[in-house]
Structure formats: structure tokens, C-alpha cells
Structure 1
């Protein structure tokens, strides 16, 4: 075999190993099988007998390595990783689009969406539009399983592309279990998650692309030192054949929704009270009024008796309440005043004038602290 061909196959094996976080020898065996041999030794024995691959076979293996997420062209080293373009597909007669966002794979169809998180062991999330809750194809376990398989294949390629430029020791721990952090460069056999306080081995992190196998957090939360040296956390147990958690299925309302809860209602009523206010004191009264929603049927407004006139009707607020289909109850009470001399706010509607008068009063009869 020509020297460049065997060298190219070894290089492809090294890149495939890095992209898939497997041993180099295992990667070479897989490439040998792509050429039709049982393992790498069989291929090298054939080379000694003057076997050489065709250009077509070599191109097919190169494409196989590229699909795994490995880079096959050294000219692209500087900017290898990029988010793959969205693609359209069909499964069991149902159209879908598959794409990715910040490492997560998103598959969307008519009234449903599947998210495969970047973290390899985190559960897929299925969201079904409540309007399609009874008819959505993702409710069929077989359809969902096939869909997850399609999305998982894309997710593996994305993770491989992200990790392809990492040091080899980041995707494969050494014989002592020491792994190198892909972003910080530290090396250790035991690591700590600063999100859930889990204790993780270097081998576990290398296999899990530096996401915590316990909580799924990203590599930036993985450190060589625990948060608390006296309580370093419990070791994470992962099975030999670790798999993603079972899918989490949610019925959702994707349309823009106005929740007429107490927070929303009180915001609208307070805004209307500010329209009703004719003086600085009344605006202060509107801002400080206590507004409650009772049983979703009645708005209860409690005014500060020193700020809001007892005989003043909040007409704008009443109009808003009517639009919302709510009754209104009002009362006055004595609050803790925001400023001394509360009558000053009744004399003007100009906040700047009120502030000037207030400052002079405190300068003459009190103290101002900044």
C-alpha cells in the first residue's frame, strides 16, 4: 500500500477515536471493519500481501469518520465546530424538522417538540401542544423511540464535533484514571461538581463529555477541588452501559397566554391608579396601595389615608376592573409614611417641585444622609 494511504487511515483512526472518546486501537478496528476486515491486524496483514483500498473505499471511510463528528480536513482545524444546518425529515408519515441550539438537538413536528440535551445522560424532553394531546404521534412509544434514536445520532455527532479539538486526555483517561479538563487544562483522577457537590472520576467525565453524570451540568461547573474540603460529596455511581434517563413528557400551552393572577391584575390596577392621581401624594398613594385579588372575582384596594383622599373615586382603576370582569372593594388605612410632612405632596403635582420643597424642609428641620 502506498505510504500516504496507510498513514491516512491511521490519522482517520486517531480522529475517530478522539471524536467518539474511545481507545485508538478500538477505533482502528472499527475502520478496518469498514474496509471489510475483522480487525486492524487483519488489515495490516493484508497490506503485507500488497492489498490496498480503492480511492472509492477510502472516500467512504473518510465520510464515515466525518459523520461521527471527526474532522477529516486539516485545513478546517481553526474553525471546525459549527451548528449543523436544520434538516427536514419524515417518520411514519409524519413530517419533522431537526436542528440544534447551543448543543441541544431539537426535533419539531406538528404540535410537538423533542429536545435531546447536550449532556449525554439527561432525559429527553417531549412537549406536546395541549390542542394535540390526544392525537400527537409522539404519544406512540415506538414512534418516540425511533425519533429519539434519530435525534441521538445527531446529538452524538454534535458532541463529537465540540470535543474533537480537546486534548486526547480529555476524552480518554489514562490507566490511572487521570483526565485533563478540556477548558482549564488541569489534570486529576477525581473531580467535583460545584452544582450538585458530586464526586466524579476522570474516566466518568471523559465518557460523559465533561458533563456531570449526576445532575448534567456543563464542564465549567467541574473543578479539581470540592466546594467544601471537609465535605467533598458522595461518589457518583454510573452503570457500565450508561443510558439516558426515560423521556419526560409534558403537555404544554405554546400560545401566548395572559394569566390574570394577582400579580397581573394588581399591575394593571396600579397603572390605572397612577392615571387617577392628580398630585404627588396621590401618585405615592397609588404606588404604595395594597392590592389583592380575592378568589379571582374581587379586587381589594387598601389606600394610605395620609396619601389618597378618602372621598376620591379611582375611576380609571374601576374601569380597568370592569374590563377584567372584577368587583372592586376599597378601604383606607394608616401606613408608615415615606416622608415627614405628608401634606407637602398635596400642594403640587410636579415631582421636581415636591423634591425641592422636601429637601429644604429636611435641611431646615432635620438631616439629610446620602
Structure 2
């Protein structure tokens, strides 16, 4: 006869301890990132995140967590949003092998130093990429996209991108190069593609179609001519590219053109 699997009291206790440890470590990592971005002490950042979770202090949160309390998914999402909003870039964990391959691939790129840390800088498909040992920074062609910082998880404690002063200098270099790249793109396009007329009408860089309103067929969002020109024909509402857009909402048969994301 089938019987349900029942955990022993000891196993249940071990699972509870593991869960509490996992969330505790996750919150501490978020607090460290917030502290670095805002140049405040770690204990101030811990207390701030504890306050967001409804506790008067981090110490109170820790003592309550020992009584089997863990944050809900909604609470964790709220804390993560606060931390991400304080950072000048989107941080991601990179795969060690991929990061090493990228560093080797950019061996012939422009080399430089920020303090004691060497870097390599290159433009790839209009994205500007800076790579160092265990870290990389990418500023996409899309003017509306946030920079992307990737680090090798095992090397997080050593990565200079977690030091605000280094990160600001690196972002300044990459953004300056990205501005040059975007300027070159604009120079290659018709003037009306990047500067709307008085009615907000812009011309598609390819094929020359004109309109004062565009609709992304990926997210169905409406984009004004001014918005799409300022965004170098990337959809401001979607992070990926490329996508299609037309001068009419999706489902309406009409002439269309491409809008990159």
C-alpha cells in the first residue's frame, strides 16, 4: 500500500535552518550592494532593508527568523527593487567559462587601466564592452537601456566593480565610447530619422517611411516619433532587440517598418 513520505522532525528542522540561512545570506548580499552604491555602512543598509520587511532593526529580524520566519516572495521582490534602484547598472552573475572566453576574445581590443585594474574595451555590434578579470560591463546601443555588469560569482569578493569609485570611472569610460558610437549611427542616418519635424514626424532609417506614431509588434506599445528618434529606433518599453514596429497597432493591415529594441 502506498503511503505518503513523511519527514522526520530532525529533517524538518534541518530544512528550516537551511531556508533561514539562505534568505539571511541573500538579504546580506543585497545589503552589501546597497551599502556600496550609497556609500553607507553595512549595518545602516541592513537596518534599512529590515525596515522594509517590517522590523525595527536587522537584529530584530535575525531574532525573529530563528522562530521560523522567512520573507515572502513579494517582500523579497520589494527589497530587490530598492537595491536595484540604487545601483547605476544591472548586475548579473556571469558564467565563468563564458567570462574567460570573452576576456580572451577581446585580447586585441583597446587596453587600459583603472587604478591597479587592467581592462579591455571594444565595440561589438554597436554595444560597448569593457572586460576585466572576472567582470564585464556592457553599455547597449539602445540609449534607454541600463548598463549591464556581469561578475563571476566565485570572484565577487575580489571584483572591483563592487567598489563605487571604480564602477563610476568604468561606466564613464564606457558611456563616453557609447556616445561616440551613437553619434556615428546618427550621422549615417537621414537627419529626419533622429530629428522629428514640428509635427513629431520621423523617417524610418531604412525604406524612408514616415509617421508621428509607431507601434511595437513585440509589446504592442505605442511610441511617439519623438520617443523613437531619441531612442535610436529602439522600443523604449522592451529590453530585447530586434523587434518590428508599424505605423498602426498590431492586427491592422498597413505598411510597416522595423523598430529595434
Q: TM-score, normalised by structure 2?
A: 0.52
Post-superposition Cα deviations, 1:175-233, rounded to whole Å, max 9, x if no partner, equal: 10000011131100001111211100001111111111111454762322221349xxx
Post-superposition Cα deviations, 1:301-355, rounded to whole Å, max 9, x if no partner, equal: xxxxxxxxxxxxxxxxxxxxxxxxxxxxxxxxxxxxxxxxxxxxxxxxxxxxxxx
Residue 101 (1) aligns with residue 124 (2):
yes
Distance 1:129 1:162 in 2: 32
The alpha carbon displacement at 1:120 in A equals 0.8
* Residue of structure 2 in register with 1:183 after alignment: 206
Residue 198 (1) aligns with residue 221 (2):
yes
Residue 138 (1) aligns with residue 169 (2):
no
Residue 156 (1) aligns with residue 179 (2):
yes
Q: Is the 8 A contact 2:214 2:222 kept in 1?
A: yes
Residue 170 (1) aligns with residue 214 (2):
no
SS in 1 for 2:158: coil
Distance 1:131 1:86 in 2: 26
* Residue of structure 2 in register with 1:112 after alignment: 135
The structure with the greater share of residues assigned to helix is 2
Distance 2:211 2:242 in 1: 14
* Residue of structure 1 in register with 2:76 after alignment: none
Distance 2:132 2:201 in 1: 43
Distance 1:176 1:89 in 2: 46
Distance 2:245 2:176 in 1: 26
Q: TM-score, normalised by structure 1?
A: 0.38
Distance 1:172 1:94 in 2: 40
Distance 1:216 1:173 in 2: 23
- Which is greater in Rg? 1
Q: Is the 8 A contact 1:192 1:222 kept in 2?
A: yes
SS in 2 for 1:209: coil
Distance 1:219 1:161 in 2: 20
The structure-2 alpha-carbon separation of the partners of 1:146 and 1:170, relative to structure 1 and needing over 3 Å to count, comes to same
Distance 1:227 1:181 in 2: 18
Question: RMSD between aligned alpha carbons?
Answer: 1.9
Distance 2:169 2:132 in 1: 14
Distance 1:222 1:181 in 2: 10
The alpha carbon displacement at 1:86 in A equals 2.7
Distance 1:163 1:141 in 2: 32
Unaligned runs of 5+ in 2: 1-107, 254-261
Aligned length: 146
The structure-2 alpha-carbon separation of the partners of 1:174 and 1:180, relative to structure 1 and needing over 3 Å to count, comes to same
1:347-366 aligned within 5 A: none
Q: Is the 8 A contact 1:210 1:219 kept in 2?
A: no
Q: Is the 8 A contact 1:195 1:217 kept in 2?
A: no
